[in-house]
Amino acid sequence: VGITGTNGKTTTAFLVRSILEAAGWKCGLLGTVTSIVGGREEAVQRTTPEAIDLQSTFRRMLDAGDSACAMEVSSHALELRRTDGVHFAARVFTNLTQDHLDFHSDMEHYFLAKRRLFEEPGGPPIVNIDDPYGRRLPAELGEVTTYAIERDADFRARDVEFDPHGSRFTCVSPDGDLRMTTRLPGLFHVSNARAAAAATRALGVPLETIGAALADAARVPGRFEPVDEGQPFAVLVDYAHTPDSLENVLRAAREITTGRLHVVFGAGGDRDRTKRPLMGRVAAALADRVIVTSDNPRSENPEAIVDQIMDGAGPDAERDVDRRHAIRHAIETAAEGDVVVIAGKGHEQGQEFEGGRKEPFDDVTVAREALRAALGAPS
């Protein structure tokens, strides 16, 4: 099962794997967070491996007894033809929003790269028609399976509810309606669950099995991940690193906030610079308190990246280029009922600097240490 789109690939791939495993398939995984071959996790270098490495990994999966693979397919991989010759049994388009314009010249070329997943022979295209680019695909591809929350689709979610512990919704499908739950809170995660349901139903998995698997599926590392040390406010770590994904995360966090909403985030160096002020504007519009910090500055000056974000965030935003200190400060000053969102790095275990230097850094660990210090607990 191949999954492409700007946001949602990782969560959808994890959910597809969980459903297929529950249905009795032994399923591998290829993606941003980890690879799973024969049930064993492996470190990853890129979202979609180079063509030779990809085929080698498929071979190792087969040798290890895997009968399926849920994989993220990046726009870089499609543009560089890494997946040519791969026959996907189901192909998912989650959405398209601004990112990677340092690689693709504009949004149209970015879309055309994503569309390549559906140009070779394969299983049914499964398309999110809540997304404007997704709405183009039925006319361009012919017969597709659609999913949505806001529009009439083959797989639709209605009566959606969520809280810090997860989401509940009614899955409306060609096979009937079924109430489903997931441990992942937020409308964007409901959309990812719809994608996974449509993809696995196309492979013959019964709707009841899909519902049970979604309820049991574990949270995805660094995706709206809670950090809980008994504090009277919520801390959430998320990989959101585009204007759209940051908006989705902040809107979901607002729904579970009884106090103030804080966000700590930055933007990666040597990547699409045009999204930086846009992310600043999103944060300023949706959060009560904005702290702009470093992400992975790479070869760029961290202060210059923060300047570009601040252009959109405005004069009320705070700046602290030291990410560890920024996270600590946000946590130390949060009050009961608040939500602190730490965005941008998610599952990542390091921070990248000039000259290829990489320092160990994990947002979840840093947040946990800050919480324990604030609560007076031993670290």
Q: pTM of the predicted model, to two decimals?
A: 0.91
Q: State which residues of the chain have pLDDT below 50.
A: none
pLDDT for res 104? 61
Tokens describing residue 379: 């670290």
Structure tokens at 203: 């492979």
pLDDT of the residue at 318: 99
pLDDT value of residue 99: 75
Domains belonging to the chain, first-starting first, are 2-216 (3.40.1190.10), 225-375 (3.90.190.20)
With 0-12 / 13-18 / 19 or more C-beta atoms within 10 angstroms meaning exposed / middle / buried, residue 122 is: middle
Amino acid of residue 21: E
How far from each other are the two terminal CA atoms of the chain, in whole angstroms? Answer: 42
| pLDDT the model gives residue 163 | 87
Q: What angle do CA 58, 362, 18 make, to 5 degrees?
A: 40
Size of the chain, expressed as the number of residues it contains = 379
Q: What is the pLDDT of residue 379?
A: 60
Interior CA angle at 144 toward 141 and 148, to 5°? 120
121-170 pLDDT, tens digit per residue, is 999 999 999 999 999 999 999 899 999 998 999 999 999 999 888 999 99
